[in-house]
Structure 1
Amino acid sequence: MSVLLLLLLSILQGVTELFPVSSLGHTLLVPALFGVQLDHHAPALLPFLVALHLGTAIALLWYFRIRWIAIAQGFFGSLRGRPSDDGHLAWALLVGTIPAGLVGLWLEKPLERLFHDLRIVAFALLVNGIVLWLGGRRGDDEASERAPQRLTLVQAALVGLAQIGALIPGFSRSGLTMIAGARVGLTRKAAAEFSFLLGTPIILAAGMLELPKLMHDHAQLATAALGGVLTGIAAYLSVRFLMGYFEGSGRLASFGIYCIVAGALCLGWFALHPLAA
């Protein structure tokens, strides 16, 4: 893998994993638009892309390190019969993580086949944009009228269910969970924080599960390690920006417009250049 392509894929992963625009969709589509042919059938491609998630997970753990320490303390405190808000949040994150984790393991092979047709990925990106635009506009309007509230375990499970849609390349995990968080009563900033906290175990687990597939190829492993570092830097800068963006007047629906335009342009490009898909 060339250094330039490594830089491109790693930075794309770090930025788009947290921005609600689908990291895997962009990682598959952008190289094709620039005439870079990725071998979608190569057995090491998907493990490499997923291994980049480790960089994102480490960046999220570092950015929210104080929050995670409090969550861990609250979790162990709840096991000893000392309930707290942090302990409740720990259980909410655990409950929210289960649905996507189980479905991802169950449908791993069928979902991998979707990566091989970029027209499906582009269409999913367009639909993701429509969902973000509709859900984001409604959520933004309602968020201003609601105060943040502590999620019940049922509400946390509903937000977790939204992650399942992101198993399809082109759909955004962070976007879907932010919309779901707004629908159950969180403000934009609280929904973004819960989305990033909820995504950390999934992102970390995905990277850890795929990493052994690269162990037999030391060159590929070294490339993945370098890519992970670059991804982590991009992810850290992204989460800093997004938390400030949603704390202010930032609107999730704006990302929906981008995804609609990008998905439509990609579909048009592949219609004119079918071999690129």
Structure 2
Amino acid sequence: MSTLHAILFAIMQGISELFPVSSLGHGVVLPDLLHWGLNRQDPSFLAFMVTLHLGTALALLIYFHRDWLDLIGGFVRAGGRPVNPESRLVWLLIGGTIPAGLLGLLLEKKLRGLFGSTTLVLAVLIVNGIILIAGDMLRHNGRGRTLDELSFFGALKIGLVQALALIPGISRSGVTLIAGLHEGLSYAASARFAFLLATPIIGAAGVLEVPKLLQHGSQISIGLALGCGLLSGVFAYLSTWVLMRYFNKHEIQALRPFGWYCIGLGLLGLLLRLL
């Protein structure tokens, strides 16, 4: 991977990780369509992508640092019991993290094989777009609930849906947002929960994968990888800033533009592969 490609990859990752358009899908599709000639089967490729994810996790921690300080403080004051809103939300996040974490560990090797098929990822991107549009249309009418009203079972369901993002082409933020909406949350509350939920799972993936980058540093130097991780974090922070304001202002049809984008990119990619 050239330095220019690594930098462009980092920018793309920072934007697409939090926008509901699938960063993994874009990480497979765009380099292939642009003929970058990346070896996605090299062990360092996934490790490099996860290094970019670490930048995203850092950006989320910085953006929501006050939330995390309040959550940790409330959890400590409650002695770990869900007796205040902050401690209760910590337990909701733990419950939402468990399904994706377990499934990721169990299915990691099988899911790695999906990175090799651009055609499959393009098809899944179209499915992601349909999910966003259909989920937005079929959301519960009783919208506007806050996270204080989310049940533990509801958080567990959102976490289970989040596990779909292990498939390249399915957006983590997109499916968790849809799941939150169908638990009756507002767009803003669902987005906040989705972004808070993404932080531990992305961070944990980085802890597991970065050592592999150190071991298999064949495509990119460690210094460039870390620099790209920071660049990805900058764009992830800007993306979070934009999206939180967007979802605060839009309480209807907010996910449909992203859905149509995914469908359009998927169809265009499939068409180009046929020509």
TM bracket, shorter-chain basis: over 0.9
AA partner of residue 147 (structure 1)? R
AA partner of residue 154 (structure 1)? F
AA partner of residue 191 (structure 2)? A
1:211 aligns with 2:214: no
The equivalent of 1:38 in structure 2 is 38
The equivalent of 2:248 in structure 1 is 247
- Determine helix, strand or coil for the equivalent of 1:18: coil
Question: 1:32-74 CA distances to partner (integer Å, 9 max, x unpaired)?
Answer: 1112111122121111111111100000000000000011112
The equivalent of 2:110 in structure 1 is 110
The equivalent of 1:192 in structure 2 is 191
The equivalent of 2:137 in structure 1 is 137
Contact 1:214 1:220 in 2 (8 A): no
Name the CA distance, whole Å, in 2 between partners of 1:81 and 1:102.
24
Name the CA distance, whole Å, in 1 between partners of 2:264 and 2:169.
13
Contact 2:3 2:224 in 1 (8 A): no
1:82 offset after TM fit, Å? 7.4
The equivalent of 2:74 in structure 1 is 74
AA partner of residue 232 (structure 2)? T
The equivalent of 2:6 in structure 1 is 6
Name the CA distance, whole Å, in 1 between partners of 2:205 and 2:162.
13
The equivalent of 1:27 in structure 2 is 27
TM-score normalised to the size of structure 2?
A: 0.94
1:220 offset after TM fit, Å? 2.6
The equivalent of 1:257 in structure 2 is 260
| Structure 1 stretches of at least 4 aligned residues deviating more than 6 Å after TM superposition | none
- Determine helix, strand or coil for the equivalent of 1:36: coil
**Number of residue-to-residue matches in the alignment:** 270
Name the CA distance, whole Å, in 2 between partners of 1:79 and 1:221.
41
- CA distance 1:215–1:187, shift in 2 (3 Å): same
- CA distance 1:123–1:66, shift in 2 (3 Å): same
Name the CA distance, whole Å, in 2 between partners of 1:238 and 1:134.
24
Contact 1:75 1:91 in 2 (8 A): no
The equivalent of 1:147 in structure 2 is 145
Name the CA distance, whole Å, in 1 between partners of 2:82 and 2:240.
32
The equivalent of 1:233 in structure 2 is 234
The equivalent of 1:86 in structure 2 is 86
Name the CA distance, whole Å, in 2 between partners of 1:134 and 1:81.
37
- CA distance 1:204–1:80, shift in 2 (3 Å): closer
1:79 offset after TM fit, Å? 2.4
AA partner of residue 153 (structure 1)? F
1:81 offset after TM fit, Å? 5.1
AA partner of residue 229 (structure 1)? L
1:80 offset after TM fit, Å? 5.6
74-83 or 119-128, larger mean C-alpha shift: 74-83
- Determine helix, strand or coil for the equivalent of 1:262: helix
Q: Which runs of 5+ in 2 are unaligned?
A: none
Name the CA distance, whole Å, in 2 between partners of 1:169 and 1:45.
14
Question: 1:236-272 CA distances to partner (integer Å, 9 max, x unpaired)?
Answer: 0000000000000260122111111111111111222
1:97 aligns with 2:97: yes
Contact 1:51 1:206 in 2 (8 A): no
1:14 offset after TM fit, Å? 0.5
AA partner of residue 28 (structure 2)? L
- Determine helix, strand or coil for the equivalent of 1:265: helix
Task: Give the fraction of aligned pairs with identical amino acids, expressed as a percent.
Answer: 46
Contact 1:147 1:187 in 2 (8 A): yes
- CA distance 1:115–1:155, shift in 2 (3 Å): same
Name the CA distance, whole Å, in 2 between partners of 1:166 and 1:81.
30
Q: Which runs of 5+ in 1 are unaligned?
A: 273-277
Name the CA distance, whole Å, in 2 between partners of 1:87 and 1:125.
36
1:7 offset after TM fit, Å? 1.3
Name the CA distance, whole Å, in 1 between partners of 2:80 and 2:202.
29
